[in-house]
């Protein structure tokens, strides 16, 4: 019986090490692509596709990407993967975010849309931005942002940049935290 347990334990350790190595590849990729705590949507979607090709499961994401010490952009990659690719129910995702103490971490997404045509004239390009928490995204409070991130920079969306949300208030001046539409 001890040899069976050792065999099972060895298999588990081997599988865990394998998944940790795969996660490290994604972490390194995102860290290399994110300059000044921001990442372009093309690299962001590549990281998600890598998780898919590596056959990450929900528990793998929890264990390797839902860490408070990691960059919030990596937390977001894992969250988006769980919601859109794995189809994990919101309550399970929210429970995982809360237990890992990352649900309140904030992200800032900016995207630019091509100006639409109006009576033969092209209007100015539009700039949109949203600041939200990972918990808000998990609970579908930011469906427009999730849609933009999922689609990427195609059709009328010219560019999407995802960044770590910075506090808007400083001791010297306090600016509103309103988002622009």
Q: Dihedrals φ, ψ of 70, to 5°? A: -80, 160
Greater confidence (135 vs 14) lies with 135
HEC profile for 60-96? HHHHHCCCCCCCHHHHHHHHHHHHHHCCCCHHHHHHH
The 3-state DSSP class for residue 119 equals: coil
Q: Which of 91, 80, 28 is nearest to 56 (CA)?
A: 80
Domain boundaries, the chain: 2-164
Residue 40 has pLDDT above 70, yes or no: yes
pLDDT tens figures, 136-180: 999 988 888 888 888 887 767 778 889 998 765 444 434 444 444
The 3-state DSSP class for residue 154 equals: coil
pLDDT tens figures, 48-105: 999 999 999 999 999 999 999 999 999 999 999 999 999 999 999 999 999 999 999 9
């Amino acid at each position: 019986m001890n040899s069976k347990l050792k065999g099972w334990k060895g298999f588990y350790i081997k599988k865990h090490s394998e998944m940790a190595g795969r996660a490290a590849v994604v972490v390194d990729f995102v860290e290399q692509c994110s300059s000044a705590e921001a990442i372009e949507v093309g690299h962001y979607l590549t990281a998600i596709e890598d998780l898919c090709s590596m056959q990450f499961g929900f528990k793998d994401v929890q264990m390797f990407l839902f860490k408070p010490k990691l960059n919030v952009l990596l937390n977001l990659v894992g969250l988006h993967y769980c919601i859109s690719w794995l189809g994990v129910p919101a309550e399970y995702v929210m429970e995982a975010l809360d237990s890992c103490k990352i649900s309140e971490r904030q992200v800032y997404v900016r995207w630019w849309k091509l100006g639409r045509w109006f009576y033969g004239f092209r209007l100015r390009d539009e700039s949109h931005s949203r600041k939200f928490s990972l918990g808000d995204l998990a609970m579908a409070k930011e469906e427009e942002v999730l849609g933009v991130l999922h689609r990427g920079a195609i059709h009328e969306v010219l560019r999407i940049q995802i960044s770590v949300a910075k506090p808007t208030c400083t001791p010297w001046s306090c600016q509103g935290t309103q988002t622009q539409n």
